Structure 1
């Protein structure tokens, strides 16, 4: 086994957990993983263990935010044209707002 299979507590990550999701759930999960800046494994593990997901700003996260905000804008234009709002869009907007709020706090506190 390689070093990448050790977690932060020097424990081997040699167990596999698998589960099925719908295409819509997969898309939402992919968005949240991109916005978190974590690996999918780390994001899912933190969420399952009810640990806080702290987003560290980096170029990948900023690009994901930019891309998701563009997608949200497209969805808002679609809604303005008379179509309904879906729950995944609201979840994405909430995640983006949470991340941006966290970034704002980092700037305010000089971190």
Structure 2
């Protein structure tokens, strides 16, 4: 049995919500979770409750960004070779751009 946790409002998190996703949706969710630096639970909860997902730069986030930029570069090379652009790639690029913009804004406020 997992440990009981309290959220940031000191509420017990003792309810379980489960749902099914396709392998492609799972891959996309995993990418977004890695890029956010949050736990999967916190990321999904924030998204479902329409709260902002604020990315705090740390070594894990930078590593995830580096890996995703490499994957995007591979996809762009594939596209250049004549294949089409898929929606997941465009969504990923948009999220990565938002993260980088947020990191740039955080640097200017310090």
**TM-score between the two structures when normalised by the length of structure 1:** 0.95
Q: Which digits, 9 at most, give the CA deviation of each residue in 1:36-91, with x for residues without a partner?
A: 00000000000000000000000000000000000000000000000010110000
Q: How many residues are matched?
A: 109
Paired with 1:2 and 1:29, the residues of 2 have a C-alpha distance of: 24
1:56 aligns with 2:70: no
Q: Which residue of 1 aligns with 2:18?
A: 18
For structure 2, the residue ranges without an aligned partner over 5 or more in a row are none
Q: Which residue of 2 aligns with 1:78?
A: 78
Q: Which residue of 1 aligns with 2:37?
A: 37
Kindly report structure 1 stretches of 4+ aligned residues shifted beyond 2 Å. Answer: none
Other structure's SS at 2:56 match: coil
Q: Which residue of 2 aligns with 1:65?
A: 65
1:95-110 equivalences in 2 (<5 Å): 95-110=95-110
Q: Which residue of 1 aligns with 2:94?
A: 94
* RMSD over equivalenced CA pairs, Å: 1.0
**TM-score between the two structures when normalised by the length of structure 2:** 0.96
Q: How far off its partner does 1:2 sit? A: 3.7
